[in-house]
């Protein structure tokens, strides 16, 4: 007896499913269950294969349909976004709000009359919204103006230093005092006009935000004669804002660096047969583009001619290049390495996989994570509380502690500066955005901060078998010659000739798994439903049959039964090649485990999660795969509605549950799960729209990476909150019972803000073991 182990090359599957979510950024996300179907093909060799109905991905929108977009130049932090949201939420008739903080834009969906009310409410807060055209790029006019503000800030600092110098060195006479006051006013005017404008607007509507606190503190200091200190406080505050803005922009735009990966032009075939370089944005769908070795792919496409290795790390996070040949997909921003390729453009520049990844991360940045919502609520109470405390110090301490009125007012102003909640409020978005960007660089597309935070709570991971844990298609794993006198090459050729004529997945696996020099012709080919196929090959009447047909032909034996049982217990489907004299060979076909699945399951167990396999396949096959992976709990013979019920039961029994799937038949379970992970989302619009988390390269090891990233993000979030509140508390006590000055208060606020920003930026380094 001769045996041969064969392995067919793996093929990645596009994953699409119908798990739909609402991504309106200022509301809780919701699950909308989509219909799902599954198809089981009867196996001519007694095997049932799971297959997913193909779903055509819809075109991704390039604009916000029905929304009117406005740029709000001075909306540069989460506090101000929250103010605008709070002012707009009570207005009846507003259907939806979408904030794009990185580009300082607001998209508003409402009738014209209601929009007028909304704009008036925004202007009352001191902001000036500017209408953007529908065709404007998302980043249009998005410059933060940092460069223009630097020169003004330097002038302000010089004027403040001049005021301090005059107050310290000049004689205490009226002319020198007037000169010092003039320099202080100049410094405040250069650095703080915008702060004053927004602060006064906030005070008019009774909102005690950071701008209101600074306006009151600086004005109070000036009134009590501390104008050099008032000027320096405003200049230092503006400097802190500038540094924070630069650091936050680094986090917000970390993923934007991917845009530079896609070339600005492409070599396109013209109607006259000539090749011409065109801007990538001008290349139409269906155009043919030529790509040289070493060049980056300018647009999404499908290979027409050529074969090459392509580095897909920028899009999928894969460490090794992927071989591409005719029919394979290419993604914008990836790198062609070894040979020339020609490909057909399948998506416009604005709708490429790379552009959609960036768009999805930007949308996720605009949504509020649970910790961020907690911090916003806390800051809304904390700021007024400190304002009341400062007022109490100013009014009561002369009576209670014997301070002078000037001392009491000064300490109250110091308290107001310390109370600025900027460090606290900024602590969460920087961390969340950095985590989202780090994940995207690894090929993990997380659709919002809520999923980044909630992933740490997962107790159970339910895993679809076919296409998620396994390759998703059968391959020939064993070919055994059962008639010693027969020639192996000849028998293989007969089996391949019969299998190649069938379109059944198992027959296709046998045909693809066998390689012979020349495949003979088949005469009188016929398929027997539920049994197999038959035909004349080189004068021999042959059948490629399942167990039942061989028994019906009277060609089964005890030894053959034992051999078949070994393969069937391992979850393989067995087909037998036989002639009139008996069985010639045994073919064993199975869906093989992905190389990454074993380590991924082991990592999940190490992280304290319980992996559960959910499969529509028969129990024996499912058990065999589970045993290879170390999964002890599994459910088999499941229809889509059964998977849904299994998720509900796991949630009730064990706690928060994730569902990992790759097809539309997993949609109900993905919708019910606490977090839905879609595998193999590169290039498919449907998967991006449907899942909470999309694993772009079909690598299951990205799942434990997501859990680790979530746990790390949680730790950094609470480190930042502790830093912000701890520093504030220390300086509040120093202001009340020590000798804290307004300078110290500003440095405390600046220091706390920078500490939490840079601590949050550590998340950009990505998930760690």
- With pLDDT > 90 as the criterion, what percentage of the chain qualifies? 23
Residues 6+ apart with CB under 8 A from 400: none
Q: What is the pLDDT of residue 269?
A: 94
Active site residue 300: no
Query: Which of 58-62, 275-279, 304-308, 531-535 is least confident?
Result: 58-62
Q: What is the pLDDT of residues 686-704, one digit of tens each?
A: 555 667 888 887 889 999 9
| Euclidean distance between CA atoms 54 and 37, whole angstroms | 10
DSSP 8-class letter at 60: P
| Euclidean distance between CA atoms 435 and 766, whole angstroms | 7
| Euclidean distance between CA atoms 524 and 566, whole angstroms | 33
Tokens of 244: 């924070």
| Euclidean distance between CA atoms 627 and 736, whole angstroms | 66
Q: What is the pLDDT of residues 163-180, one digit of tens each?
A: 878 877 888 788 888 888
| Euclidean distance between CA atoms 432 and 105, whole angstroms | 20
Query: Is 332 in contact with 352 (CB distance < 8 Å)?
Result: yes
Tokens of 224: 């009590």
Q: What is the dihedral of CA 328, 332, 336, 341, to 10 degrees?
A: 50
Task: Give the highest mean pLDDT range of 69-73, 216-220, 414-418, 742-746.
Answer: 69-73
- In this predicted structure, the answer to whether residue 756 has a pLDDT above a threshold of 70 is yes
Which is the catalytic residue, given 100, 351, 464, 698?
464
Q: How confident is the model at residue 424 (pLDDT cuts 50, 70, 90)?
A: confident
Q: What is the pLDDT of residue 112?
A: 87
Q: What is the pLDDT of residues 57-101, one digit of tens each?
A: 333 333 456 788 898 877 766 667 777 888 888 898 888 888 776
Query: What does the pLDDT average to over 105-114?
Result: 87
Q: What is the pLDDT of residue 698?
A: 80
How large is the C-alpha radius of gyration of the chain? 33
pTM higher than 0.85: no
Q: What is the pLDDT of residue 249?
A: 64
If you average pLDDT over every residue of the chain, what do you get?
A: 78
Query: Is 157 in contact with 239 (CB distance < 8 Å)?
Result: yes
User: Beta-carbon neighbour count of residue 472 at 10 Å?
Assistant: 27
Q: Tell me how far the alpha carbon of residue 309 is from its chain's centroid.
A: 26
Q: What is the pLDDT of residues 444-500, one digit of tens each?
A: 888 878 889 899 999 999 998 877 888 877 889 899 999 888 889 999 999 999 999
């Amino acid at each position: 007896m001769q045996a041969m182990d064969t392995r067919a090359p793996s093929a990645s599957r596009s994953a699409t499913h119908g798990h739909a979510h609402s991504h309106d950024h200022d509301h809780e996300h919701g699950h909308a269950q989509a219909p799902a179907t599954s198809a089981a093909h009867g196996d001519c060799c007694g095997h049932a294969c799971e297959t997913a109905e193909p779903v055509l991905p819809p075109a991704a929108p390039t604009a916000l349909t029905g929304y009117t977009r406005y740029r709000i130049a001075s909306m540069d932090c989460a506090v101000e976004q929250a103010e605008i949201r709070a002012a707009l939420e009570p207005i009846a008739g507003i259907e939806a709000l979408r904030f794009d903080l990185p580009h300082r834009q607001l998209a508003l969906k409402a009738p014209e009359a209601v929009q007028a009310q909304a704009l008036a409410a925004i202007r009352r807060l001191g902001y000036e919204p500017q209408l953007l055209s529908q065709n404007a790029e998302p980043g249009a006019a998005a410059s933060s103006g940092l460069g223009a503000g630097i020169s003004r800030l330097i002038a302000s600092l010089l004027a403040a230093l001049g005021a301090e110098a005059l107050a310290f060195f000049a004689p205490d006479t009226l002319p020198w005092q007037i000169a010092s006051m003039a320099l202080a006013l100049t410094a405040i005017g250069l650095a703080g006009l915008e702060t004053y404008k927004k602060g006064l607007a906030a005070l008019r509507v009774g909102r005690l935000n950071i701008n209101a606190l600074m306006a009151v503190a600086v004005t109070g200091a000036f009134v009590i004669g501390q104008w050099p200190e008032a000027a320096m406080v405003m200049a230092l505050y503006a400097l802190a804002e500038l540094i924070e803005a630069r650091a936050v922009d680094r986090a917000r735009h970390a993923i934007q660096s991917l845009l530079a990966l896609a070339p600005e032009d492409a070599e396109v075939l013209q109607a006259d047969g000539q090749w011409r370089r065109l801007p990538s944005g001008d290349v139409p769908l269906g155009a043919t583009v030529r790509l040289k070795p070493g060049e980056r792919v300018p647009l999404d496409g499908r290979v027409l001619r050529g074969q090459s290795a392509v580095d897909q790390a920028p899009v999928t996070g894969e460490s090794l290049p992927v071989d591409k040949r005719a029919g394979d997909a290419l993604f914008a921003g990836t790198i062609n390495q070894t040979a020339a390729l020609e490909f057909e453009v399948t998506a416009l520049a604005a709708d490429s996989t790379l552009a959609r990844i960036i768009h999805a991360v930007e949308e996720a940045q605009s949504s509020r994570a649970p910790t961020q919502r907690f911090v916003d609520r806390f800051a809304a109470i904390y700021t007024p509380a400190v304002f009341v405390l400062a007022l109490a110090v100013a009014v009561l301490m002369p009576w209670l502690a014997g301070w002078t009125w000037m001392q009491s007012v000064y300490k109250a102003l110091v308290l107001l500066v310390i109370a600025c909640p900027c460090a606290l409020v900024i602590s969460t978005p920087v961390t969340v955005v950095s985590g989202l960007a780090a994940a995207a660089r690894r090929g993990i597309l997380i659709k919002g901060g809520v999923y980044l935070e909630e992933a740490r709570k997962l107790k159970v991971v339910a895993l679809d078998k076919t296409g998620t844990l396994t390759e998703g298609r059968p391959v020939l794993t064993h070919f055994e010659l059962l008639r010693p006198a027969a020639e192996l090459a000849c028998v293989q050729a007969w089996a391949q000739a019969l299998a190649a004529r069938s379109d059944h997945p198992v027959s296709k696996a046998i045909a693809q798994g066998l390689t012979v020099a020349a495949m003979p012709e088949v005469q009188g080919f016929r398929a027997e439903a539920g049994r197999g196929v038959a035909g004349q090959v080189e004068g021999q009447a042959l059948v490629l049959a399942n167990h039942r047909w061989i028994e019906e032909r009277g060609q089964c034996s005890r030894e053959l039964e034992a051999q078949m049982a070994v393969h069937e217990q391992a979850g393989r489907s067995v087909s037998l090649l036989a002639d009139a004299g008996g069985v010639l060979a045994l073919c064993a076909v199975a869906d093989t485990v992905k190389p990454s699945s074993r380590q991924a399951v082991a990592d999940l167990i190490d992280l304290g999660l319980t992996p559960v396999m959910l499969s529509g396949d028969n129990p024996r096959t499912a058990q065999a795969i589970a045993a290879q992976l170390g999964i002890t709990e599994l459910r088999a013979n499941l229809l889509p509605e059964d998977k849904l019920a299994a998720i509900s039961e796991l949630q009730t029994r064990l706690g928060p549950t994730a569902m990992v799937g790759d097809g539309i038949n997993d949609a109900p379970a993905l919708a019910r799960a606490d977090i839905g992970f879609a595998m193999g989302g590169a290039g498919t619009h449907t998967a991006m729209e449907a899942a909470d988390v999309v694993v772009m390269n079909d690598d299951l090891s990205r799942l434990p990476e997501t859990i680790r990233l979530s746990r790390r993000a949680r730790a950094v979030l609470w480190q930042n909150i502790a830093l912000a509140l701890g520093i504030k508390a220390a300086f509040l006590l120093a202001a009340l019972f020590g000798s804290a000055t307004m300078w110290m208060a500003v440095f405390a606020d600046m220091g706390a803000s920078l500490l939490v920003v840079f601590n949050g930026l550590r998340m950009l380094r990505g998930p760690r073991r």
